[in-house]
């Protein structure tokens, strides 16, 4: 039988006494560990410590492989339900066309409504770096267009040849 390292099972239990519960939920009371293991063997099941921190520790008599299977199913179900907030990023130059910027604003709106964060980066190259106000104007346009559903997580700031800001849903 394969043993999982996170659980104390049968002979691997270190406590002298355990509060023993059957798989049906029946409380057998506080038993010495040897007696509890014998009881589990008589039922052709395993003795597994489920709560180590209690005094005395709580152990269940159950089928360990089925227990591990159920635990993995619970973990995968919880993982499937949790949605991570992703960071979506748009990068463009300061001379982006009006239609292109409107498209990116609409996509940003969709991402924000889905619960994601959106980062806008205006990349300045060569002589464009001498006129960062053009990039800040593009960021201001984004901020004005998204102000009804989003707020800026951080104000627009220039880092080298890039002007960045991040939006989060209100």
Note the pLDDT of residue 103. Answer: 95
**pTM (two decimals):** 0.52
- In a 10 Å sphere around its CB, with 0-12 CB exposed, 13-18 middle and 19+ buried, how is residue 135 labelled? buried
The token duo for 126 is 């060569």
Domains of the chain with bracketed CATH = 10-81 (3.10.20.80), 87-169 (3.30.110.10)
Highest mean pLDDT among 1-5, 74-78, 136-140: 136-140
Beta strands in the chain (DSSP E): 17-21, 27-32, 46-51, 58-62, 87-92, 117-123, 150-159, 162-169
Give the confidence band of 2 by pLDDT, cuts at 50, 70, 90.
low
Q: What is the pLDDT of residues 19-69, one digit of tens each?
A: 999 888 888 888 888 988 898 899 899 888 888 878 888 999 998 889 889
Tokens 């227990």 appear where?
67
**CB hemisphere CA count around 52 (13 angstroms):** 8
Select the more confidently predicted residue: 142 or 3.
Answer: 142
Question: Which tens digit of pLDDT belongs to each residue from 61-113?
Answer: 998 889 889 888 988 888 777 767 788 999 999 999 999 999 999 999 999 99
pLDDT tens figures, 120-132: 999 999 999 999 9
């Amino acid at each position: 039988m394969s043993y999982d390292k996170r659980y104390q099972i049968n002979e691997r239990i270190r406590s002298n006494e355990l509060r023993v519960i059957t798989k049906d939920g029946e409380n057998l009371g506080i038993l010495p560990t040897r007696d509890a293991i014998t009881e589990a063997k008589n039922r052709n099941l395993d003795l597994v410590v489920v709560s180590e921190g209690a005094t005395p520790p709580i152990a269940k008599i159950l089928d360990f492989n089925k227990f591990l299977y159920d635990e993995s199913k619970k973990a995968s179900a919880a993982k499937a339900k949790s949605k991570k907030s992703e960071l979506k990023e748009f990068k463009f130059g300061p001379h982006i066309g009006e239609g292109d910027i409107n498209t990116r604003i609409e996509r940003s709106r969709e991402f924000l409504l889905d619960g994601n964060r959106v980062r806008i980066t205006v990349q300045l190259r060569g002589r464009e770096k001498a006129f960062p106000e053009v990039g800040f104007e593009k960021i201001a346009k984004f901020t004005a267009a998204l102000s009804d559903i989003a707020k800026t997580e951080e104000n627009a700031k220039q880092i080298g040849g890039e002007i960045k800001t991040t939006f989060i849903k209100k």
